[in-house]
Amino acid sequence: MSKTSSARTPGRLAIGLLLFVLGILLFKSTRLSLEVSGSVALALRYLLLDATFLGLVLIFAVAHARSRSRFARLAGLLLLVLAALFYAIHSFVLLELDEYMSLSDLGRYLPEWQMVKGFLGPVSMLVMALLLVAALLHVRLGQRAHRVLMVGSAFLVGIGLAASYQAPADVGRYALIPVGRIAETLMDSQPLSAYAPAQAEHFAQFAPQAAEIPAQKPDIMLLVIESLSSINSFRTSGVQDLLPSFDRLSEQGLLFTHFMANHAASEGGIIALLSGFPPLHYPTATPLMFDEFAAQPAVIHDYRRAGYFVEFLTNADLSFIGLDRYLDGLDIDLARGRDEVAEFQSAPRFVQDAPSDRFLYSEALQRLDQRAEDENPWLLVLATSSTHLPYTHPEGGDDTAEAVWDWAMARLEEFVGGLEQRDFFDNGLLLITGDHRQMRPLTEAETERYGDSARTRVPLLAIGPGLPGGEIDNRLFQQADLLRYLGRINRPGERLTAHPVWVERYNRIYGRVESINRFRVFELKQNELAAYPVRVLGTDLQWLQGRPESYRFIEAGIHAQRSAHQFARNGDAPACGQGLAGGVAVSGKRQGLSVWRLPASNINALRNPEGPPDFVSEIGSGSDDAHSRVLEWYLAFLDVEETGTYWFRSAQGSRLCMSINGHLVLDQLGEMAMQAPVELEQGRHLLDIRFAPGTSSAGMGLQWVEPGLSKWRWRPVPTTRLAPALPRESQQN
């Protein structure tokens, strides 16, 4: 009797882990509510966003308790611990950086251990200890209690899905499972094609003009302060007074109150300021922003052509996220960071494993002394790091935002004083701005003050000859136009930026690069900034919520930038022709591709090849001589089993051009691998590929990522998905 009763009694419920997840959820929702609204009024709304995850964990916990296998219970407990750990990491990263980060993305940051461990303070250690204790807490409940919990968990899942789906974008972005954004991605998609040479030639007339450099060619210092935000300055926002030292300093120059960043992270800010373009993704580019924009023309080049010696100096690591590769691509005259300056190497290190800004300013003043007799104009870009998260006081003060910013602004005042002592401002211009707004959740005060442009707001202070002291300039101005229109800033009547652009940060959400093609365009309407969300795939541009009045002009400028960048990256030689209008399948059940060999000079011709094709399993395998002067022309049908976004790329070193259904997708003429997303319906799609043998040692020249994969992995397109094709008879005439 007792044995039968024992067999029917459920095991112990992992109540500790459930309480741990609930505690993280309560902390996350309360913290968000306090930071956004200043009260707990919104806590329930944020809590409901993750009710689905809580319900799923509860379902799994009940299933774990009811399992009779010791191995299954042990495995289930381990999975519950990992789920709780994942949720804790996700929540704290979201709260600290205001950016989503999946667990798989942590691998990108583990090599930067000095930066990562800055976040592993006492609070993090306490949370880990609580997780271990929680894993040991279990309670035995009866069958009826388990049934009640299962019903409750189903209710939590349902209400969480509904809350996440219906939440506004600025609220739903904090959900662990962003149902609304996932649904939008699945239902609202566009086909892709790359820009053709004729399109690029047409849009070139709308390209931005060369930089307007001040006629006097002053020495210029562009000081980029990490996370300097307009909302914290009373003179720029009229709301908060957290930067009194900066406000005092602003009395010496011209303060721009409607200056806007183009991106949410340092790489985007640096690119906008030095390249002179909003960091818009363009066809065939990868999400590696520094690498992609290193290959592009930049406004810095205009200054070098005008005789400026261009220098970049930072106290951070130049190799972090590829900054060194970007600066090399821009051909900066001199770039130095933490490991290139002797004083930095021996100095104490703090946030980002970098010496404090005090050492950076000291080195900048020494460089000014060294160049005192140099007749060539000088452009020095300074990038600070001491105000980066997590806040760490460099000289023993409190590790709080207030203390760190007070210290940083005091060092800034000292630096400006050093410039004055050296008579820099006799013919020198100092520009002080931020790389991006602070990486914190938007507050209610910011939204009230700035509306849809709240995430873009950074101040700009210009001090130098011919600029009035203590005055405020309310003209619209963005980072990408600062060096381009520098000659205009002392002419109040001239327009600076007509339509600022805010580019969404490139994030991977559940295996896909979710926001790589999204940005916002702002337009001033009745003294208020209206925001217009945009989505692009290839040459297709879609206004998601209305269009500004001058949308055609804006679109032309966007296409001019993106098409020019596409061809600057890959070359503009006429190696890629347009794809064929259609094809017919080869009879039989063959798999693979049809291939013909043509003289290399005919790469752009659409003439009918002589003779029947060979049939091969992969690109490059049809060539007898890897170094022959021929072009291989492949034709095949691709069988798509699932409708969705497919990413394609050529293998490293492969020179191939590919169209799908007549739309040019890959225009690989250079040596860099490229990639492009394509929206494909279920069914058959014609691939037309031109391949130059002898250019790749990577095997299969065509790779893809299928939709719905949990990891961002490139794989060769499988032969089983390919069917050889022949040109239609109409194409052979």
Q: What percent of the chain is predicted at pLDDT more than 90?
A: 47
Residue that wins the pLDDT comparison between 155 and 660: 155
Considering the domain architecture, whether residues 159 and 228 belong to the same structural domain is answered as no
Q: Indicate whether 578 belongs to any domain.
A: no
Residue 356: what pLDDT?
A: 97
- Do residues 200 and 572 lie in contact, with contact meaning Cβ atoms separated by under 8 Å? yes
- For residue 339, being part of any structural domain is answered with yes
In-domain check, residue 424: yes
251 and 366 both lie in a single domain: yes
H or E element at residue 32: helix 15-37
Cβ atoms 546, 684 nearer than 8 A:
no
Q: Into how many domains does the chain fold?
A: 3
> Is the model's pLDDT at 349 over the cut of 80?
yes
Q: Is the pLDDT of residue 513 over 50?
A: no
In a shared domain, residues 626 and 714:
yes
Torsion angle in degrees (nearest 10) through CA of 68, 71, 72, 76: 120
pLDDT bin (cut points 50, 70, 90) of residue 66 is: confident
- Note the pLDDT of residue 650: 75
Paired with 379 in beta bridges are: 220, 310
198 pLDDT more than 80: no
pLDDT at 187: 47
Do both 603 and 718 map to the same domain? yes
pLDDT of 609 higher than 50: yes
Instruction: Indicate if the pLDDT at residue 496 is higher than 50.
Output: yes
Q: Which of 28-37, 54-63, 121-130, 602-611 has the lowest mean pLDDT?
A: 602-611
Per-residue model confidence (pLDDT) at position 731: 40
Q: Return the sign of the alpha-carbon dihedral for residues 557, 563, 565, 568.
A: negative
The whole-number pLDDT of residue 203 equals 86
> What integer is the mean pLDDT of 608-635?
68
Bridge partner list, 703: 649, 716
Q: Which residues pair with 312 in a beta bridge?
A: 335, 381
Q: At 417, list the tokens.
A: 């004083």
Give the span between the Cα atoms of 207 and 564, in whole angstroms. Answer: 8
Residue 346 banded pLDDT, cuts 50, 70, 90:
very high
User: C-alpha distances in angstroms, 581 versus 131, 193, 230, 538, 635?
Assistant: 60, 14, 53, 19, 12
- Looking at residue 567, its amino acid is F
Residue 148 lies in a domain: yes
* Mean pLDDT of the residues in the chain: 83
Considering the domain architecture, whether residues 239 and 385 belong to the same structural domain is answered as yes
Model's pTM, two decimal places?
Answer: 0.76
Where does the pLDDT of residue 580 fall: very low under 50, low under 70, confident under 90, or very high at 90 and above? very low
Whether 658 contacts 587, CB under 8 Å: no
> Closest Cα to residue 500, out of 460, 441, 446?
460
* pLDDT tops 80 at residue 402: yes
Name the region of 194 (left: φ>0; alpha: ψ -120 to 50; beta: rest): beta
pLDDT in the model for residue 337: 96
- Residue 172 reports pLDDT greater than 90: no
Asked if residue 627 has pLDDT above 70, the reply is: no
Judge residue 333's burial from the number of C-beta atoms within 10 Å of its C-beta, 0-12 exposed, 13-18 middle, 19 or more buried.
Answer: middle
**Which of 129, 164, 187 is a domain's end point?**
187
Q: Higher-confidence residue: 26 or 675?
A: 26
**The tokens 């926002």 sit on which residue?**
237
Judgement on whether residues 587 and 479 belong to the same structural domain of the protein: no
- Measured CA to CA, the distance from residue 346 to residue 362 in angstroms comes to 14
DSSP secondary structure of 361-388: HHHHHHHHHHTTT--S-EEEEEE--TTS
280-326: pLDDT as tens digits: 988 877 778 898 899 899 999 999 999 999 999 999 999 988 899 99
For residue 704, the enclosing domain spans 583-732
Within a domain: 540: no
Task: Work out the widest C-alpha separation in the chain, in whole angstroms.
Answer: 100
β-strand pairing of 722-727 with 583-585: antiparallel
On whether both 150 and 69 belong to a single domain, the answer is: yes
Q: Is the dihedral of CA 181, 186, 189, 193 positive or negative?
A: positive
| 595 and 462 both lie in a single domain | no
- Is 261 found in the same domain as 183? no
Give a yes or no: residue 96 inside a domain.
yes
What confidence score (pLDDT) does residue 694 get? 59
**With the C-alpha atoms ordered 448, 453, 455, 460, is the resulting torsion angle positive or negative?**
negative
Q: Is the pLDDT of residue 606 over 90?
A: no
Phi, psi of 520 (to 5 degrees): -125, 140
**Residues 58-63: what's their mean pLDDT?**
91
Are 396 and 345 in the same domain? yes
Residues forming a β-bridge with 645: 679
Question: What is the reported pLDDT for 581?
Answer: 44
Contact between residue 316 and residue 338 where contact means Cβ atoms under 8 Å apart: yes
**Residues 233, 147 share a domain:** no
Closest CA to 239 of 472, 450, 461: 450
Crossing angle between the packed helical segments 323-330 and 266-275, to the nearest 10 degrees: 10
Question: With 90 as the cut, is the pLDDT of residue 607 above it?
Answer: no
| Residue 101 binned pLDDT confidence (cut-offs 50, 70, 90) | low
**Strands 309-314 and 334-336, sheet pairing:** parallel
* pLDDT above 60: residue 662: yes
pLDDT digits (tens, 9 = 90+) for 247-258: 999 999 999 999
Out of 91-95, 111-115, 195-199, 704-708, least confident range: 111-115
Rounded CA-CA distance 25/83 in Å is 13
Same domain, 436 and 348: yes
Q: What is the mean pLDDT of residues 100-117?
A: 57
**Interatomic CA distance for residues 635 and 631, integer angstroms:** 13
What is the distance between the alpha carbons of residues 616 and 593, in angstroms, rounded to a whole number?
Answer: 5
SS3 sequence of 506-541: CCEECCEECCCCEEEEEEEECCEEEEEEEEEECCEE
- Helix pair angle (15-37, 70-97), 10° resolution: 10
**Backbone torsion region of residue 283, taken as left when φ is above 0, otherwise alpha when ψ lies between -120 and 50, otherwise beta:** beta
Report if residue 696 sits inside a domain.
yes
pLDDT at 727: 77
At 605 the pLDDT is: 46
- Most confident segment among 38-42, 188-192, 208-212: 208-212
Cα separation, 557 vs 370, whole angstroms: 42
Distance CA 656, CA 593 (A): 15
Three-class DSSP labels, 382-438:
EECCCCCCCCCCCCCCCCCHHHHHHHHHHHHHHHHHHHHHCCHHHCEEEEEEECCCC
The verdict on residue 688 lying in a domain is yes
Mean pLDDT confidence for 468-478 = 95
Distance CA 146, CA 389 (A): 44
Q: Are strands 428-434 and 219-225 parallel, antiparallel or unpaired?
A: parallel
Between 472 and 629, the higher pLDDT residue: 472
Judge whether residue 274 has pLDDT over 70. Answer: yes
Residue 10 has which token pair? Answer: 């459920």
CATH code for the domain of 307: 3.40.720.10
Nearest CA to 523 out of 542, 497, 541, 545 is that of: 497
